[in-house]
Amino acid sequence: MSATQPRRRPARAILIAVLAVAVVVLVAVVAILVPILTHQSAGGSGQAVPQGFASESKATGADGRTRTVEVRTPDGKPADLARVAPGSELVVTGTGFDASIGIYVGVCAIPAEPGRKPSPCLGGIPKGAEQGKAAKEGAQPSVWITDDWAWKAFASHGYADASKGAFTARVLVPEASSDGLDCRKVACAITTRADHTAAQDRVQDMQLPIAFAQ
């Protein structure tokens, strides 16, 4: 019996180690999925999408926060959203957002009805996000901002000031048509919206209409 003990102990140690790793992975998965599955919508952002091509907008949402969003050129001038050109850069800033909810910033269709999710959008997921390298890419057609510990490593970056709900996103204007959306035929806007962790929550939705230069 004693001769077999040294053989059993390593096997038992390996089994315990495997089980410990499995428990850690399970706990991490639960910690990530539970907030997504249990998230309750805070309501709408309260914004009436501007009729023209305003470079800034302000609205008080159902959560009591007053959100502002503004679009400027890289040299700090108000952006002319009536004539955006693919390949140009727009600097989108915001304040008053709920930093506990991540956001996507990009170009999306304006919903036909208020309160609907802005979709579809141009640009897809940020380049490098799947490899955790989005932060190194600079301006992109789609920017992902989050302070969530589980996702921040994959996002473009976090909020600039979480206490003020402030962010800055460098958006590279995409081609007018891709991913099933043609912004030359459908009304589109520079858009902020909740990320996939709160996909049905409309409280972070803010839009500034754009038109592509001919």
Are 206 and 105 contained in the same domain? yes
Residue 90 in domain: yes
Residue 45 in domain: no
Highest mean pLDDT among 2-11, 127-136, 147-156, 199-208 belongs to 199-208
Residue 184: which CATH number? 2.60.40.230
Mean pLDDT of 83-90: 97
Are 80 and 144 contained in the same domain? yes
pLDDT band at 95 (very low <50, low <70, confident <90, very high): very high
- Domain membership of residue 152 as a residue range: 56-210
Are 22 and 115 contained in the same domain? no
Are 115 and 74 contained in the same domain? yes
- Residue 30: the pLDDT is 47
What domain count does the chain have? 2
Contacts of 211 (CB under 8 A, 6+ apart): 53, 81, 82, 83, 84
Are 62 and 29 contained in the same domain? no
Residue 49 in domain: no
Are 119 and 198 contained in the same domain? yes
Tokens at residue 165, please? 């709900």
Cα angle, residue 55 at apex, residues 46 and 164 outer, rounded to 5°: 55
Q: Is the pLDDT of residue 35 over 80?
A: no
Residue 146 in domain: yes
Are 66 and 121 contained in the same domain? yes
Q: Are 104 and 143 in contact (CB under 8 A)?
A: yes
Are 185 and 118 contained in the same domain? yes
Residue with tokens 């302070």: 147
Are 105 and 10 contained in the same domain? no
Are 82 and 11 contained in the same domain? no
CA torsion through residues 132, 133, 134, 135, sign = positive
* Each residue's pLDDT tens digit, 200-214: 999 999 999 999 987
pLDDT band at 21 (very low <50, low <70, confident <90, very high): low
Residue 65 in domain: yes
Residue 173 in domain: yes
Q: Are 126 and 137 in contact (CB under 8 A)?
A: yes
Are 70 and 18 contained in the same domain? no
This prediction's pTM: 0.82
Are 76 and 116 contained in the same domain? yes
Residue 47 in domain: no
Residue 200 in domain: yes
Cis peptide before 35 (omega within 30 of 0): no
Cα 67 off chain centre by: 16
